[in-house]
Amino acid sequence: MQTGEPRLASANVTTVRLNAAEAGAVETDALVAGIHTTPDGPRPAPGADALASAFSGGLAATLEALGFAGAPGEVVKIPTFGALPAPLVVAVGLGDAPERPDGHDLEVLRRAAGVAARALRGTARAAFALPAATSAQAEAVAVGALLGAYDFARYRTGGDSRSPLAEAEVLSDAPGAEEAVARAATLAEAVTLVRDLVNTPPSDLPPARFAEIAEEAGTKAGLSVEVLDEAALREGGYGGITGVGQGSANPPRLVRLAYSHPEAAATIAFVGKGITFDSGGLSLKPSASMAWMKSDMGGAGAVFGALLAIARLGVRVNAVGYLCLAENMPSGTAQRPSDVLTTYSGKTVEVLDTDAEGRLVLVDGIARAGEDDPDLIVDVATLTGGQIVALGWRTCGVMASDDELREELVEVAVGQGEAAWGMPLPEDLRKGLDSPIADIANINPERSGSMLAAGIFLREFVPEGVRWAHVDIAGPAFNKEGPHGYIPKGGTGMLTRTLVALAERYQPDQEA
C-alpha cells in the first residue's frame, strides 16, 4: 500500500530575502557571523565586523574559551545578552582570510551558510552576515543557507519536531545582489525537488508517478511535456527501456521535457537515468546494496530539476531533457542474462548482467535526443559502483567525446561546488564489450575499468557528429553518511546546478 503521493516540494521550505542593513542593527532571531582563523585567534570576517565592538572587544576571547578557532565546518552559538538586537550569534568558521575582501571562495561561503542553517533548526528567522561583497557571493550565501536548511520530514511522525529555519536574510548591499538572491531561490527550489524525489520511497515513486510529477511541474514552468507509456515505448522500438522495465508490475515511462527561447543559438539535450528502484533484476543485488537503490533515479531527477530552473530563469538556450524511467525487478517476465535487446537506435545489445540496466535505458534516451538536432548531449546517471571505487562518494566522474568538453564540464561543476574529475575513455576497453551474437554486450565480463567501460558503451549510441558527455554520479547522488556543509544525509540533488550553469554558458554572446 502506498503511504501517500509525494508532493512537488518539501512541506517545510526556507524562504530567503535580501537585507542591506548592517549586521549590528538588524533585528532577527539569530545573526550568523563568519569567523576567520588568524595567528592572533579567531576574527570576524567582512560583513560581521560590527560584532567585535558589540562585544566590547571580547568576542575573540569568548570564541577561544569555547574552543572555536574559525576552521571551516566549525559552528558555535553565543547569546548576546542585549549587546545586539539579535539575541543569538551563530559563529561559523571560514578558515584563513583571502588576500582581498571580495576574494572569499564561493564554495566556502556556501558550506558555511549551510552549516549555520542546519544549526538553526527550529529558528524562525536568521540574518546571514557572511562576506557578500559581490552578487556572486550573495548568491552563494543564499544557496548554502537554503540547501543547508533542507529537511525531508514527510514520513516522520515523531522524534525531533523542530521545523527547519523558516526565513534567511542575506545581508548585502552589493550591486545585483537582489537578482542574485532571487536566482539562488530558484536553484535551491529545483535542488530541493530533486532531493525530495530521491528520498521518496520507491513504493510512492514508480515510473508512472514520476512521469505525472514531471508533467505537472513541467507544464506549470512552461515546458512542453511528452510522456510515452509502456505501449508507446514498445511500439516506438525503445527496447532498452522496455527490456529493463518488463520485470516490474510498475511499467516504464519516457518523459521528454522541452524549453525554447527566441534568442537561443544552441540546443542542449540532457538525458537522465531514472531507475526508480534497482533490485538488480535477475542478477540480484545483495540486500545491503539494495537498501539505498531508491536513489537510482538521481540522474533523471537532476535533469528534471535543471529543466525547471532553466525555464524559470529564462536561460537563452533551447534545452531538452529526457527522463528514462523504469523499475528493475526480478520476476517471471524479467529480462534474462543472455537476452538480446534491440534499442531505439536499431543496435542490438546482449544483456550479460541485468544489474547493468542503467546504460540500457540511457541509450534509448541518447538516441532519441539525437532527433532534436542538439549541439551537445549530456547524460547523467548513478551508473556504476566503479565510480565509487575510483573516486569515492563525493566526486563524480566525467567522460566526453573530446577533451575540451570534458574539461569544460568539470570546470563548470567545480565552480558550482559539485566535485568532478575528468576520466578517459581508453580504446583498449572496447574489445571487452564485444558480443558473439549482438552488436555489443552491456558489460565487460572481467569488470576491469567498469566506470570507463560503461562510458564507452554509451558512446556507441551517440548520434554521429554530436558532442557528448557522460557524468557518473553513483556515489555523490546519495549521502549515506552524516550531513556536511549544505549537503544533508540522503538525496543531494547532485549536478542539478551544474546542468543549469552549463546551459548558461551556451547562451549567445557568452564566453565559453
Q: Is 359 a catalytic residue?
A: yes
Q: In Å, what is the CA distance from 223 to each residue of 140, 283, 425?
A: 27, 38, 34
Q: 431 among the known binding-site residues?
A: no
Q: 355 among the known binding-site residues?
A: yes
The answer to whether 222 touches 253, Cβ cutoff 8 Å, is: no
- CA pair distance 346, 343, nearest whole angstrom: 5
The answer to whether 230 touches 265, Cβ cutoff 8 Å, is: no
- CA pair distance 27, 32, nearest whole angstrom: 12
The answer to whether 16 touches 179, Cβ cutoff 8 Å, is: no
Q: 96 among the known binding-site residues?
A: no
Q: Is 285 a catalytic residue?
A: yes
Cα–Cα–Cα angle for 306, 503, 265, rounded to 5 degrees: 135
Of 195, 209, 359, 497, catalytic: 359
The answer to whether 141 touches 109, Cβ cutoff 8 Å, is: yes
Give the count of beta carbons closer than 10 Å to the beta carbon of residue 58.
12
Q: What one-character-per-residue DSSP string does 83-99 give?
A: SSSSSEEEEEEEEEPPS
Q: 353 among the known binding-site residues?
A: no
Q: For residue 499, how many C-alpha atoms fall within 13 Å in the half-sphere facing its CB?
A: 37
- CA pair distance 370, 345, nearest whole angstrom: 10
Of 17, 234, 285, 347, catalytic: 285
Q: 509 among the known binding-site residues?
A: no
List binding-site positions: 273, 278, 296, 355, 357
Indicate which residues carry an active-site annotation: 285, 359
Binding residues for Mn(2+): 273, 278, 296, 355, 357
